[in-house]
Amino acid sequence: MRLGVLDVGSNTVHLLVVDAHPGARPLPAHSHKADLRLAQLLDDDGAIGPDGVDRLIGVVHEALQAAEDKGVEEVLPFATSAVREARNADDVLARVRRETGVQLRVLTGEEEARLTFLAVRRWFGWSAGKLLVLDIGGGSLEIAYGIDEEPDAAASLPLGAGRLTAGWLPGDPPAAEDIRALRRHVRARIARTVGEFSRFGAPDHVVATSKTFKQLARIAGAARSAEGLYVQRDLKRESLEAWVPRLAGMTEDQRAELPGVSEGRAGQLLAGALVAEGAMDLFGVETLEICPWALREGVILRKLDHLTVT
């Protein structure tokens, strides 16, 4: 069957269309994205303003039309931290439902971590052993650890690249004192969580998902996306540590010229790099393996599991 996953995230609204069948890997058939940056549309009270809701509804309508054009049988819609944390989330969800017919399922941070972990486990397989999975989104950092398909520990921290950029790095390029303050904040927040995971022992593989990690790996020398999903891509801490001061001295336009960095995410890349560097350092990770599957694939796989049971 052809399924569509509609992901209303902090940076983008992304419709991923896949051909999916129980017992088979989902095959991507179409992708439709819109840079909405909901996390940056919050007002001083933490609410998504009327203009932001209007834009969200318009983008959802476009995604539904794209899904119809591609023959999608069912759309699985969900929202993450930007909607989850908005002060007027209930009103936003009600208006989206009323004007588009879409009932957005708001995932908790822990659900995000668990579904991402499921996708990574299926990609790497049982032989990969114990996995530590890191995912940097626009609004949050997800961490999960385990040996089965359900992680033994999962956490979500408010350390998304978009959130931190908007709240901590106003300059272009940002001031050195702002970067140091953000670095301290990131590391203190991650350090509070490390103990929850370290008690399970060292992982066999440390895996990263998300656009931020993929872009960091690319500028550090990983293969281009055009070379395919199955090419191994890594991010070494040594390389990342060398890149952080370089990114700090660049303007947003200069970062956008780096290989693999999209214009829409260039402004967030430094904050994402500080989170990635802090996580790798505090968890004692020298090399991250990049996984092409993440939250959207996890949602699809969970749906297929349900279809298998029924």
Residues 283, 167, single domain; the answer is: yes
Residues 97, 128, single domain; the answer is: no
Model confidence pLDDT, tens digit, residues 184-233: 999 999 999 999 999 999 999 999 999 999 999 999 999 998 899 899 99
d(CA 18, CA 4): 6
d(CA 274, CA 294): 21
Give residue 78's pLDDT.
98
Residues 73, 151, single domain; the answer is: no
Give residue 14's pLDDT.
96
C-alpha distances (whole Å) from 289 to each of 26, 85, 161, 197 are: 21, 30, 20, 18
Give residue 309's pLDDT.
44
Give the chain's residues under pLDDT 70: 308-310
C-alpha distances (whole Å) from 43 to each of 38, 46, 230, 245, 284 are: 11, 5, 42, 32, 38
Domain boundary at 71, 106, 141, which?
A: 106
Give residue 169's pLDDT.
97
Residues 137, 253, single domain; the answer is: yes
Pure H helices in 41-175: 50-69, 81-84, 89-100, 109-124, 161-168
Would 166 be classed as within a structural domain?
A: yes
CATH of residue 169: 3.30.420.150
Q: Give the count of domains, the chain.
A: 2
Environment class of 162 (CB within 10 Å of its CB; exposed 0-12, middle 13-18, buried 19+): buried
Q: Which of 111, 286, 135, 100 is nearest to 202 (CA)?
A: 286
Domain boundary at 54, 77, 106, which?
A: 106
Could you list the residue range(s) of the whole structural domain that residue 30 is in? 2-106
Q: Which of 111, 2, 21, 158 is nearest to 67 (CA)?
A: 2
Is the pTM here over 0.85, yes or no? yes
Residues 192, 274, single domain; the answer is: yes
Residues 129, 240, single domain; the answer is: yes
Domain boundary at 106, 140, 169, which?
A: 106
Residues 127, 271, single domain; the answer is: yes
Residues 61, 130, single domain; the answer is: no
C-alpha distances (whole Å) from 307 to each of 3, 23, 151, 184, 304 are: 12, 10, 22, 46, 5
